[in-house]
Amino acid sequence: MKVKTAIQLALIAPFSLLLADSLVLSASQVSYHYNKSSSYLNSAASLGETSAIYELYKASGDKSWLSKAAKLGHAEAAWQMYLLSDRAIKSDPSIKSNLAIKSNPAIKSNPSVTYQERTDWFELALKNNHPGALIQQLEMLVITQNWQLASGQIFKIEQRLNDFPNYNIDENLLEALIQTIELGALNTQIVLPESYKKSIQKLKNRLKQLEKNNNDRFDRTDYLAAFNSSCEVKVLVMVNSNHARIKTEQLIAEFHNMLPNSKAKLCFSKVSTTYQLNALCEKSKIGLLSCKSKGIKALVNKSEVGPSVSLADNKLRLLVVANEGKANSRGPVIFMDKNDNAQVLLHEVGHWLNLYDEYQLRPTQQAIYCDENQPTKLGENLIVAPLKYSIETLQTEFNQTLWPVNTCKGTKNQAYKWIPELTPMEYLDVQLTPAMQQFFNEPKLNPFHTDLQTFFE
């Protein structure tokens, strides 16, 4: 005689009980008994009880039950379907986005899961207020600096976490998001409703309790492991989101692929995710990304610099990647946004290494660099001279062939370079020549740049 498994018995038990007892129960009676004692599981599921359908999935492992429960509005089922599709996309390079497929019909996407399906499951989980989806949306509200909606989302999350006591909160992420919302609201002088403030405080108290119960919650990553005695430049790297962290890690890898001989002396820390950057950085009126120095200093001291590294270290530099704004460098700090690539990083690092732009500068910059009364070297790559000096005279004086560039165009000075080929200080997408590579392989910092300690004062 075959022995039925526990799962099989669970699936047929309701019908067996109905037949054996000759009972005919109404839908409302089945629902009542199921919700009271979890009995009549299969009958309840057949009547569309979402929690019963989800329990059948847990008992059988059959994802069709999970999908059905999700489509009928079961929040946890929708969230699990989202996580399954997300993992499938990340683990299978054959899965392409709809945009990629449209732009290249030759691409064959995995038919079992698509980007659109992942989006649909996420939106379904969000519609049913699953805390995981709410927190993920909260992250986007923080990144886009929507402090009013973000604080309202905190209120919703605090309420829903009570309905999901077993949900595994990412305490570090939620704590960082809360701190960023408070800082963003303060900086923009937004007055939060009292109900929102109470929810924020309740969540902070919950996180404190979790901290007491979980000693492993702290990040023990050695972010400065790459810094050693061979480093001539030590770059601290801070980004505004986990997505930016992944992209920046790829960007740094591409940078070193372009300059493989620079890795020993041009050292980057591990990328640190610091959500508070979203409350401290913004696009200026002229489109440049900029951040509040005082706040950045506090974050650097808190999250990066340990006993082995000092802000007064002349070799120490800082790379900040935030949400939006044109890349630029100010002394020892580079600011970049989520859309920048390795070529942009290379250009900005060039400024640290005493290389100057070979395209036309803004008038405010020209007032600084293009106001010479006699021929003068500008960094390692340029010579600036009044217009009255001919190129032949300058070539004789500096004993090298020169080529004019547009750095000082429109001023009383002309700039010249001594490298004949196009360089990344003018065009981002040009191939690096050996002469230009040498600046990065044997880096020498701009002597006019201060250390970070002085910069933040």
Same domain membership, residue 209 and residue 151: yes
Residues 203 and 268 in one domain: no
Residues 322 and 251 in one domain: yes
User: Which pLDDT does position 106 carry in this prediction?
Assistant: 45
Which residue has 């949306």 as its token pair? Answer: 137
Domain shared by 259 and 346, yes or no: yes
Q: Left if phi > 0, otherwise alpha if psi is -120 to 50, otherwise beta: which for 22?
A: left
Query: Could you report the per-residue pLDDT of 168-190, keeping only the tens digit for each?
Result: 888 889 999 999 999 999 888 88
Q: What is the pLDDT of residues 104-148, one digit of tens each?
A: 444 444 555 688 899 999 999 999 999 999 999 999 999 999 999
The answer to whether position 95 is within a domain reads: no
Is 211 or 414 the better-scoring residue by pLDDT? 414
Res 453 pLDDT > 80: yes
User: Which 8-state DSSP code applies to residue 17?
Assistant: H
Tokens in use for 205?
Answer: 């108290």
Residue 435 belongs to a domain: no
Do 281 and 342 lie in one domain? The reply is: yes
Name the more confident of 36 and 343.
343
**∠ CA 111-114-116 to the nearest 5 degrees?**
140
* Digit-coded pLDDT (tens) for 71-82: 989 999 999 999
Which among 209, 450, 159 is positioned nearest to 330, based on CA atoms?
450
> Which of 352, 373, 405 delimits the end of a domain?
352
Q: Is there a single domain that holds both residue 237 and residue 348? A: yes
| 154, 193: one domain | yes
Inside any domain, residue 35? no
3-state secondary structure of 385: strand
Kindly state whether residues 335 and 370 are assigned to the same domain: no
Q: How many Å apart are CA 150 and CA 143, to the nearest integer?
A: 10
| Domain's final residue, options 159, 179, 213 | 213
* Whole-angstrom distance, CA of residue 41 vs CA of residue 13: 8
Percent of the chain whose predicted confidence (pLDDT) is above 70: 82
Read off the pLDDT band of 210 (50, 70, 90).
Answer: confident
How many domains does the chain divide into?
Answer: 3
In a domain, 22, yes or no: no
Q: How far apart are CA 18 and CA 39, in angstroms?
A: 12
Please say whether the beta carbons of 142 and 277 come within 8 A: no
pLDDT-derived band at 1, boundaries 50, 70, 90: very low
Query: CA 441, CA 314: separation in Å to the nearest integer?
Result: 18
CA distance linking residue 172 with residue 150, whole number of Å: 17
pLDDT at 42: 59
Show the beta-strand stretches assigned E in 363-412: 376-378, 382-386, 403-405
Residue 112 lies in a domain: no
φ, ψ of residue 50 in degrees (nearest 5): -65, -40
- Tokens 């379904």: give the residue: 124
Q: What is the pLDDT of residue 56?
A: 78
- Of the chain, the end-to-end C-alpha distance in Å amounts to 84
**Residue 391 and residue 404 in contact, taking contact as beta carbons nearer than 8 Å:** yes
**In terms of domains, do 371 and 298 share one?**
no
Q: What is the pTM of this model?
A: 0.83
The whole-number pLDDT of residue 302 equals: 76
Q: Is residue 69 part of a domain?
A: no
Q: Given the DSSP bridges, would you call strands 316-322 and 333-337 parallel, antiparallel or unpaired?
A: parallel
194 and 250 assigned to the same domain: no
pLDDT band for position 40 (50/70/90)?
low
DSSP string of 175-239, one letter each residue: HHHHHHHHHHHHHTTPPPPHHHHHHHHHHHHHHHHHHHH-TT-S----TTTT--TT-SEEEEEEE
Per-position DSSP letters for 287-350, written without gaps between them? SBEEE-HHHHHHHHHHHT--TT--TT-TTEEEEEEESSSB-EEETTEEEEETT--HHHHHHHHH
- pLDDT tens, residue by residue, 257-306: 999 999 999 999 999 999 999 999 999 999 999 999 999 998 888 766 55
Query: What is the per-residue pLDDT for 45?
Result: 62
Q: DSSP code of 285?
A: T
Q: Six-digit token pair at 177?
A: 């998001």
Residues 345 and 368 in one domain: no
Say if 26 falls within a structural domain: no
**Residue 78 CA: distances (Å) to CA of 96, 131, 408:** 22, 12, 59
Rounded to the nearest 10°, the torsion over CA 304, 307, 311, 312 is -170
Distances (CA, A) of 170 to 150, 276, 381: 17, 16, 48
Residue 99 reports pLDDT greater than 50: no
Res. 18: pLDDT tops 70: no
10 against 266, higher pLDDT: 266
- Give the domain extent around 237: 233-352
Instruction: Please write the tens of the pLDDT for every residue from 223-262.
Output: 888 898 999 999 999 999 999 999 999 999 999 999 999 9
Q: What pLDDT does residue 8 have?
A: 45
SS3 274: coil
CA-to-CA distance for 295 and 282, rounded, in angstroms? Answer: 13
3-state secondary structure at position 415: strand
Q: Do 343 and 370 belong to one domain? A: no
Work out the burial of residue 365: count CB atoms within 10 Å of its CB; fewer than 13 is exposed, 13-18 middle, 19 or more buried.
middle
279 domain residue, yes or no: yes
How far is residue 172's CA from residue 167's CA, in Å, rounded to a whole number?
Answer: 15
Confidence of residue 22 (pLDDT cuts 50, 70, 90): very low
What are phi and psi for residue 19, nearest 5 degrees? -70, -45
**Where among 143, 178, 213 does a domain terminate?**
213
Query: What mean pLDDT value characterizes the chain?
Result: 85
CA–CA separation, 238 and 320 (whole Å)? 5
What pLDDT is attached to residue 57? Answer: 85
Encode pLDDT of 350-387 as tens digits.
Answer: 999 999 999 999 999 999 999 999 999 999 999 999 99
